[in-house]
Amino acid sequence: MSRNTLIKIASLILMVVSFIAYIAGASAFPIASENLLPWSAWFLISVIVNIILWSNVVKLLTFSLAVIWFYAFVAGLVPESSTAVNLTELDWSDPDAVAEQGALVFNGKGQCAACHTVDTSAPPGRCPDLTDIGVNAATRVPGMDAKAYLIESMYQPANFLVPGYGKIMPEVWKAPINLSKLEIEAVIAYLQSQGGEIDPTPFDEPIDRADIGTAAEALPPLLTGDPELGKKVFVDVACISCHAVTGIESPAAGEVNEEDFEVVTAPDLSEIAAFNDMRYLEESILLPGAQIVSGYGAVTVRAKGTTFQGTLVSQDTEKIVVRTKTADGTEEEHTILLTEIDDEPIEELTNLMARGYFTLTLTPIDADASVTGEIVSETDETVTLKVGDENRMFSKTDVKSQMTVITFDGDEIVGDHVSGTMDDYEIILIVDGSEEVFDTLDLDLDGTAMTRARGKKLLVTSPMPENFPLILTVADMTNLLSFLSTLTGATAEAVPEETTEAPAE
């Protein structure tokens, strides 16, 4: 076989291989360990060689493959970006953060940007331009304030139509867009940010998602899920380990199952569907911490020097009741006044409320005395405390920091921080009114701590694992929801079967 023929065959093989590798998304083909050449480049090289060396038939095949590849390549050039939002970990007291997430919903899942523009210079879209809608919303319908108008526009868009525009906006809380209440709240905050004042406080939805027709339309998994398979999922993924359901045998609380998972007491689900809609059930599985049933939240709180770890039984404005379990399994209830909860040092003043802090003690940089108050609201830059009867806003950056250092002699020294960290040569603190300089080589690295404030903390979490979105397939989830929807407290015979009967004449 001549050298020319070998080159031709090698080039042909390379073209086919590089085409398959490109389509299959294989990683780049190395020509040297430090030099990688993508399959698309190999493909192009072999195409050129084949067109030069081969005669008509192979040349034609090469051309055909190159055209097919070209379209795949062009489509691969389209960048894909995610407009996924994270509303559950969002700091809802920060209006700007809420509006930012709302903008993502507006341009992403909500598909609002497909019709609405937020730019007066842009060509008119299918729906009104929303520049300054935060202000203009208050002028649309007499007697209706901006937020009320925006809420109505989201839920019942046909109630009021801007002159010149048709009835084309869908009800975004219904299929196929299916915006949740949180997503709608975020979009409204974004719309308010267009010239208006953002008010991210929750509102009551003017619709009833539990309405059977609405629920079925918005949550069609019910239409196809199999309750019997869902029951199997309920047992297989160990829901039954903690949640009791009439008619299914469950292990006793306190036992440890094969997966080393301790059985804890969780709400009885025998009648869960009688009082809750599907969206609540779905949210409870995917985001167990979003709403915690009273008496079932896990809490760790430190008061009067003792740490209490257990279940939050009740809570009011003055006290909490925590149920703990001793080593021998005995349960005890402790009533703890909120004022008795110990102050904890706080290093970073971010997301205080999300982290469970409800009081704060800080020293403003221009004041000598510290201030203590109940946290009312916060943003990235500020925190508002209720001090006495008045609300006072403090900058999070303009507070005095305290630093604790421990010398190698074992002396613990606390003072107002002036400058320096353990990365520097020296640290300067004001201790008892006088400035003291510490050589960092003389300090214990592990004993150094910076404190920007102190605060009382009460964080309630759900003891339910958060990995269900990972371990459940869509079909499992649908079946599980179908099963849960049958738990109305009625007898097992009431489980609906998918009907195959002909429609009544």
Partner 1 sequence: MTKISKKRLYLVLGCVLVFYAVLAIAPAFAQDMTEAEYRPFPLIGSRSAAWIAAQLHLLFGSFILGVPMFAVIIEFIGWKTKDMRYDRMAQEFIKLCMGAFSTTALLGGVLVFILIWCYPKVMSKLSGIFGPTMIFYVILFFGETFTLYLYSYGWDKMQGRHKGWHLFLGVLLNVWGTAIMFVSNSWLSYQTSPATQHGVLSEMRKKSWMEEQLAADPSLTPETVMEGVTDHSMIPLHNEVTGEFMGTVWDAVNNFTWMPINIHRLVGNIAFGGSIVAAYAAFRFLVAKTKEDKAHYDWMGYTGNFIALCGLIPLPFLGYWLGREIYLFNNTMGINMMGSLFSWLFIIQAVMIGVLFIGANYYLWSGMGRIDGAEVYARYRPWMIIAIIVSVAIWMTPRTLSKISSASELSAMGGANHPHLGLFGLMTAKNTVVNIIILTTFLSFLFYRRSGKVPTVGWRKVGNIAIFSICVFAVVAIIVIGIVGFSVPTDFRVNILTPYQVLIALALMAIVTVIDIFMYRKATTSGTINWGEMTDRSQYVLILIAITFTSLMGLMGYARSGLREAWHIFGVMQDTSVDAFTPLLSEAVNMVAIIMVAFFALVGFIFWLGLWGEKKKQEKAAVEAEVAAQGDD
Positions touching partner 1 (CB under 8 A) are 23-25, 56-57, 60, 63-65, 67-69, 71-72, 74-76, 78-81, 83, 100, 103-104, 107-108, 111, 113-115, 117-119, 121-124, 126, 164-166, 168, 170, 175-177, 212-213, 216-217, 220-226, 473-475, 477-478, 498-500, 503-505
The CB-of-168 to partner 1 minimum distance in angstroms stands at 5
Query: Residue 27, Cβ neighbours under 10 Å: how many?
Result: 9
Query: Cβ neighbours of residue 368 under 8 Å, at least 6 residues apart?
Result: none
How much of the chain is helix, strand and coil, in % rounded to 5?
35, 20, 45
Distance CA 418, CA 491 (A): 70
Residue 46 Cβ, how far from partner 1 at the closest point, in Å? 16
Nearer to partner 1, 96 or 340 (CB): 96
**CB closer to partner 1 out of 113 and 144:** 113
**By C-beta, is 110 or 356 nearer to partner 1?**
110
Listed residue (182, 174, 158, 273) closest to 215, CA to CA = 174
Displacement of CA 145 from its chain's centroid (Å): 30
Cβ-contact 147, 192 below 8 angstroms: yes
Nearest to partner 1 of 159, 421 (CB atom): 159
- The least CB distance from residue 475 to partner 1, in Å, is 5
* DSSP assignment letter at 448: -
Taking the complex as a whole, how short is the minimal distance between the CB of residue 42 and partner 1, in angstroms? 16
Nearer Cβ to partner 1 (73/358): 73
Question: Considering beta carbons, is residue 126 or 355 the nearer one to partner 1?
Answer: 126
Q: Which is nearer to partner 1, 100 or 374 (CB)?
A: 100
Reading phi first (left if > 0) and then psi (alpha if -120 to 50, else beta), residue 329 is in: left
Segments of 145-200 assigned E as strands? none
DSSP 8-state symbol, 193: T
| Nearest-approach distance from CB 27 to partner 1, in angstroms | 15
Whether residue 133 contacts residue 188, with contact meaning beta carbons closer than 8 Å, is answered with: no
Q: Between residues 349 and 477, which has the closer beta carbon with respect to partner 1?
A: 477
Smallest gap from Cβ 25 to partner 1, in A, equals 7
In terms of C-beta density within 10 A (0-12 exposed, 13-18 middle, 19 or more buried), how is residue 140 classed?
middle
Residue 450 DSSP SS3: strand
Nearest distance, CB of residue 65 and partner 1, angstroms: 7
Report how far apart the first and last C-alpha atoms of the chain are (Å, whole number): 79
User: How near is the Cβ of 377 to partner 1 at its closest, in Å?
Assistant: 24
**How many DSSP H helices and E strands does the chain contain?**
14, 18
